[in-house]
Amino acid sequence: MNLKMGYVILYAENLYKTKQFYGELLGLELRNEFGTYIEYDTGSTILSFNTRESGREVTGLPIPDGVRKEQTFELGFVTEEVEGVVERLKGAGVPVLLEPIEKPWGQMVAYVEDPDGHFIEICSPIG
């Protein structure tokens, strides 16, 4: 069996804020937009968003309302300019959860929070 990660869908409370964060602040290229569903090109994996209400309608899954504060995953974005990206996000009022720090393995890592409370890692390449 040969599986590849094709896309990730996150459910958002406010698509305007989501588009502002991922499109304007992170600079991801909008790939597609269909009503309440949007996709960003991130390289080999598509990052998608939909409203919670539409997600429930389309999937039949019990997607809860509201911003969720419990976390079981994070999204990682790799850049050579961790400090610069974090400073730009901080200047736009994005909550910084961990300022850039060099890990013992030599990688620079920082964490911010998107408008829905998802943990976003901004990191340098490993190695």
Q: Map out the domains of the chain with their CATH numbers.
A: 1-66 (3.10.180.10), 67-126 (3.10.180.10)
Helix (H, G, I), strand (E, B) or coil at 100: strand
Q: Which residues pair with 11 in a beta bridge?
A: 50
| Secondary structure of 4-33 in HEC code, one letter for each residue | CCCEEEEEECCHHHHHHHHHHHCCCEEEEE
Q: Indicate the helix (H) or strand (E) that contains 42.
A: none
Query: Which among 105, 106, 86 is positioned nearest to 94, based on CA atoms?
Result: 86
Per-residue pLDDT of the chain (127 residues; tens, 9 = 90+): 776 888 899 999 899 999 999 999 999 999 999 999 999 999 889 999 999 999 999 888 888 887 766 666 789 999 999 999 999 999 999 999 999 999 999 999 999 999 988 889 999 998 7
